[in-house]
Amino acid sequence: MKRFIFLMMALCLITPTITATGKPEVPIEKPEKLVVWCNTVHESVTNGTSRGGANLTAEFEKLYDVKIEWVPLAWDQMLEKIQLELTVSQGEPDVVFAVVDWATPAFLESFIDLSPYLKKNPIENMEDFSLGGINAFTLQGGLRFVPYRSNVQLMHYNKDLFDMYGLKEPKTMEELGEAAKKMTHTRADGAKVYGLAFIGSQTPLEIIRAFGGDVVDSDGKYVLNSSETRKAIAFMKDLYVAGAIPPNFESLTSANSRQLYVNGLIGMMFQGDNYYYQLNDSTKSGVAGKSWFASIPPSQDKSQQPGNVKLALWGAGIPKNAKKNTNDMAYEFIKFFTSRTNQLEMALNGNSPSRSIVYENEEYIKLAPYAEASLSSSPYAYPLIPAVNGIAEVMDAALEEISRAITGSKTIENALSDASKKILSILKREGIPQ
């Protein structure tokens, strides 16, 4: 038995040692290849096969005499794979793509601070990138990821339904709510048509933001307990009672709500701007040619126009456990693919550009008619989830209580006070000052 305990203790010690084995000092020499872990989309927009633009991968390889080895990863469990890879003493990838929702301090900690590189060899016109995104990717004043692909949420709407009820594009959240209620009806074939698609894991947060509230602010301070939030929840509850949102909203995913929308069963929905293509593609959509878009409006009490919206963002960064001799080349890679010209080229290949200047390009506007709406929303766009440790748990708790309040299984006050209790204890455990 003693021996067994000893063995167990020895094994417990092995794990940290494996993690912490010293990184071998490799003399700096030019690498032969660059391993890039990305999502499947990121590769396809660089090589020009999809829409016939330039082949940037080939261009980069020629320019720097290095081979790029794209390793496209499926979205499902991508974070797990990256998390596990970061525990290895010398990781395989030289560049890793990350979505902004992952960017908690604990995650950013594992990536190289790019500021020394930026000082030595600056990336042009950093002001093109959305400020919300840059802030989310910054830890202790140092940028860890450079935005590569981004979308802001727009309100996509079914023009036929709007015309049928003589409605205009809503300019405030309150108008949007009224329009949603008016549009809700039962179709001749028995199908129920809802005014607003409501994705349980997202839309409540987006509406709370449109009213000027939030769950925690960017410093991790708890702010859910506010009059704005109360107004927003009351607004959603009202829509729920009126039947203007699908009653199964808690299990409705983004993909589900698009399925409803293309069947003509949804009047309005909040989705990334680039879904415009799918929604108007006659092989994929029953409402092709009738799906219009507008900015997501704020509450009438807010003077700004449009409202605060969700920003979806992918960035490229260099893991700390990458081979040392590839770091410089990895930085060149990031710089190359996030430059103004190449962001435009990739946008023409079907990427959603991370630089605002691309949205003003005429060639791009021809491809993406929503560019202007996206551009006007982008100053008010920031990630749905602030970069705070423990945030996934906080958001889960908040959404759970908010949906209880919407369905009326708790009063708004009770739900908010329960949410406060849970969330404050999580934030306390993570050591975030309130």
Partner 1 sequence: MNQYVVVANNKQKKDIRLGFLLLSPALAVLTLFICIPGIMAAGLSFFNYRLGQTPQFAGFMNYVYLFQNPDFIISIIRNLIFVCIVVLLQLILGLAVSLLLAKNFKFQKFWVACLLTPMAISPAVASVIWRYLLNYNIGPINYLLGLIGLPRAQWLSHPILAFASICFVYIWQSTPHIIIALYPARLTIPETLYEAAYIDGANSFQSFRHITLPLLKPVIIIMTIFRIMISFRNFGLVWTLTRGGPNNATELASIFLYNEGFRYWRFGSASAVAMVLVLITVFISIKYIKSMQQSTFGA
Partner 2 sequence: MKSNKIGILRIFEWTTLLLFVLGAFGPILMIIISSFKQDKDIFSYVPKLFFKPVFDNYEQLFLERPDFFNALLNSVIVTIGASLVIILLCIPAAYAYSRLYSKKFKLTSFYVILVRMFPPIIVMVPLYPIIRNLALNDTYFILIILYATFEISISTMLLKAFLDDIPKELDEQACIDGCNRFTAFIYIILPALAPGIIAAVVYVSVFAWNDFTFAFLVSGTATKTTPILIMEMQGLVEEGYLNWGTVFSASFIQLIPILIFIFLLQQKLVKGFTLGAVKG
Q: For residue 160, what are its two tokens?
A: 């036929």
- Stretch of 5-13, 41-49, 237-245, 411-419 contacting partner 1, by CB under 8 A: 5-13
- Which listed option, partner 1, partner 2, none, makes contact with residue 282 (CB within 5 to 8 Å by class)? partner 2
Stretch that binds partner 1, among 40-48, 105-113, 224-232, 363-371 (CB under 8 A): 105-113
Q: Which of 152, 145, 99 is nearest to 123 (CA)?
A: 145
For residues 95 and 62, the answer to whether their CB atoms sit within 8 Å is: no
Number of helices (H), then strands (E), belonging to the chain: the values are 19, 12
Comparison of 259 and 304: residue with beta carbon closer to partner 1? 259
Return the number of the residue (92 or 396) whose C-beta is nearest partner 2. Answer: 92
Binding part of the chain for partner 2, among 79-87, 130-138, 166-174, 414-422 by CB under 8 A, reads 79-87
Spacing of C-alpha 236 from chain mean position = 23
350: left (phi over 0), alpha (psi -120 to 50) or beta: left
- Is 265 near partner 1 (CB under 8 A)? yes
Alpha carbon dihedral 243, 246, 251, 256, in 10-degree steps, equals: -170
Per-residue binding letters, 389-428, with partner 1 (x by CB under 8 A): xx-xx--x---x--xx------------------------
Q: Of 23, 77, 301, 429, which lies in the binding site for partner 2, with binding defined by CB under 8 A? A: 77
278 binds partner 2 (CB under 8 A): yes
Binding flag, residue 57, partner 2 (CB under 8 A): no
> CA torsion sign, 333 to 338 to 339 to 345?
positive
Question: What Cα–Cα distance (Å) separates residue 313 from each residue in 150, 207, 385?
Answer: 4, 20, 11
Member of 59, 134, 225, 277 binding partner 2 (CB under 8 A): 277
Please state, in angstroms and rounded to a whole number, the distance separating the CA atoms of residues 403 and 410.
9
Non-local (6+) Cβ contacts of 136 within 8 A are 100, 103, 218, 313, 382, 383, 386, 387
Q: From the list 25, 65, 76, 362, which residue makes contact with partner 1 (rule: CB under 8 A)?
A: 76
The residue from 31, 34, 36, 44 that contacts partner 2 (CB under 8 A) is: 44
Residue 35, beta-bridge partner list: 69
The tally of CA atoms less than 13 A away on the side-chain side of residue 402 is 31
- CB of 50 or CB of 434, closer to partner 2: 50
Question: Least separation, in Å, of the C-beta of 185 and partner 1?
Answer: 14
Measured between alpha carbons, how far is 87 from 82 in angstroms, rounded to an integer? 9
Number of residues that bind partner 2 (CB under 8 A): 43
67 makes contact with partner 1 (CB under 8 A): no
Q: Which does 16 bind (CB under 5 to 8 A by kind): partner 1, partner 2, none?
A: partner 1
Cβ atoms within 10 Å of 125's Cβ, excluding its own:
12
Residues 6+ apart with CB under 8 A from 58: 47
In whole angstroms, what is the distance from residue 82 CA to residue 327 CA?
18
Print the binding letters for residues 194-213 with partner 1: x by CB under 8 A, - otherwise.
Answer: ------xx------------
Least Å distance between CB 414 and partner 1? 14
Residue 160 as a binder of partner 2 (CB under 8 A): the answer is no
Rounded to whole angstroms, how far apart are CA atoms 57 and 349?
13
User: Which window, 36-44, 96-104, 111-119, 417-425, contacts partner 2 (CB under 8 A)?
Assistant: 36-44
User: Can you tell me which of 71, 79, 134, 365 binds partner 1, judged by CB under 8 A?
Assistant: 79
Packing angle, helices 412-429 and 227-241, rounded to 10? 130
Nearer of residues 159 and 320 to partner 1, judged by Cβ: 320
Q: In this structure, are residues 150 and 312 in contact, taking their beta carbons and an 8 Å threshold?
A: yes
3-state secondary structure of 410: coil
Q: What are phi and psi of 399, to 5 degrees?
A: -65, -40
Tell me the closest approach of the beta carbon of residue 429 to partner 2, in angstroms: 21
Which of 232, 223, 224 has its CA nearest to residue 173? 232
Q: Is 246 one of the binding residues for partner 2 (CB under 8 A)?
A: no
Under the binding rule (CB under 8 A), the answer on residue 158 touching partner 2 is no
- Please tell me the distance from the alpha carbon of residue 329 to that of residue 293, in angstroms, as a whole number: 41
The site for partner 2 (CB under 8 A) is made up of 15, 18-19, 39-41, 44, 50, 69, 71-77, 80-81, 84-85, 87-89, 92, 189, 191, 254-255, 259, 262-263, 265, 274-275, 277-278, 281-286, 350
The site for partner 1 (CB under 8 A) is made up of 7-9, 11-12, 14-16, 19-20, 76, 79-80, 83-84, 86-87, 104, 106, 109-110, 190-192, 200-201, 246-252, 256, 259-260, 263, 265, 389-390, 392-393, 396, 400, 403-404
